[in-house]
Amino acid sequence: MEEYLETSYDVIVIGGGAAGMMAAGTAAKNGARVLLLEKMEKPARKVRITGKGRCNVTNARGDEEFAEQVRTNVDFLKVAFSEFSNRATMRFFERMGVKLRTERGDRVFPESGKAGDIANALEFYCRDYGVDIQCHSRVSEILVVGDKIYGVKYFNKRGFERKIEASNVIIATGGVSYPRTGSTGDGYVFADGVGHTIEDLRPSLTPLVTSHPQAQYIRDVLLRNVNVRLVIDGETVREEFGEVSFSDRGIEGAAILRLSRDAVDALLEERSVKLEFDLKSALTEEILRERIKREVAEMQPEEFFAELVRRLVPKPLVVPICKELDVHSRLYISKVSDKEFERLIKVLKSWSFPISDYASFDYAVVTAGGVRCSEVNEYTMESKLVSGLYFAGEVLDVDANTGGYNLQIAFSTGHLAGLLKK
């Protein structure tokens, strides 16, 4: 059953996430009549859970350092970043009454530690400027005549299909990561349907799955200050320093997520991938060797090898490392050979975990791939193929490292898209 809505709008925004609400609010602020269609029960579902519920809203690094953290099509984003920078984002939320603080790594969070404050500020921004926000509204089709947008069809809360005309449509549907928040790839279908190219989609900032037999013994373990090397086909291609954790999903933590983009691409190419952990990154092998000698000299002959290992690593790693070395944890320290001490040093400095797979989009922070950027005008975010069609946020083939960069991309591209002509 189809029901037609007579109300007309200048702009229809599809998707009520970070990019969509920024686009809708900006367009309305500039005088446009704006309708925002969100298929979930409320907007900003993903924003509300990002940063483990704290919302790493942006990153305060300078322009060059910030750009280095963008993994794909950074040149395409230059205009968007210049129009609405990380500093502009911080000013925006502070003016909306959200106090911010900058933490380690220049990551910016709401002072309250509540992601809901960011989501609510975006919603208030839209409503204050008169955006008509309709939830439980799933867009089914983008309406195009020739090469020009003229509206959309969507199903409302009661299941009726409606058609609304508008001369501008902004697609801000997100990617396919965290699909339970509503990001199920709708925007790619719409874009493909009007002739846009979709670059291959794959998870980014996602846990990595290992086949290492010791991994089962270290689930729920969090390690800090670990240096991690990503080794592809026997060659170290990237290194990261920071937190590493082990869970049912695989190996994760900030350091791993930053490496996962390259690891996923290599796995898709069926290349050999492994992670090497330096658990004593502050010590060289020689200094570590001397440290072990001192520890052994202080121990009683009848003390066990496990006690030595415990002096060097967190307790949950003691048994897995003993198993890795094939040295019984209750072997008397006086019976440990020089060769076994050397193997211990090698494991502490370069514990190798083969990577066999990566976690699904259900656990990926963002989606890599998306609408080909060369088909989008970098100065306006308007499609080069269809007049009046705009893109913002994760639906585009842009992604960055963890640390607030991806939300900034959403805000910058959303703002630029919202500056469209009425």
Minimal CA–CA distance to 92: which of 1, 4, 29, 43?
A: 29
Per-residue pLDDT of the chain (422 residues; tens, 9 = 90+): 455 554 689 999 999 999 999 999 999 999 999 999 999 999 999 999 999 899 999 999 999 999 999 999 999 999 999 999 999 999 999 999 999 999 999 999 999 999 999 999 999 999 999 999 999 999 999 999 999 999 999 999 999 999 999 999 999 999 999 888 889 999 999 999 999 999 999 999 999 999 999 998 999 999 999 999 999 999 999 999 999 999 999 999 999 999 999 999 999 999 999 999 999 999 999 999 999 999 999 999 999 999 999 999 999 999 999 999 999 999 999 999 999 999 999 999 999 999 999 999 999 999 999 999 999 999 999 999 999 999 999 999 999 999 999 999 999 999 999 998 64
Residue 334's contacts (CB-CB under 8 Å, 6 or more residues apart) are 301, 302
Query: How far apart are alpha carbons 262 and 240 in whole angstroms?
Result: 12
Q: Which uninterrupted H or E stretch holds 103?
A: strand 100-103
Identify the H or E element spanning 340. helix 338-349
- 3-state DSSP assignment of residue 72: coil
In the numeric block, which tokens belong to residue 161?
């299909």
C-beta separation of 63 from 81 below 8 A: yes
Residues forming a β-bridge with 278? 227
Number of H helices, E strands in the chain: 13, 20
Q: Which residues pair with 222 in a beta bridge?
A: 245
| C-alpha 382 chain-centroid distance | 24
| CA gap 48, 54 in Å, rounded | 8
3-state secondary structure of 1: coil
Q: What are 211-261's pLDDT values in tens digits? A: 999 998 999 999 999 999 999 999 999 999 999 999 999 999 999 999 999
3-state secondary structure of 84: coil
Contact 16, 170 (CB under 8 A): no
SS3 41: coil
pLDDT at 208: 98
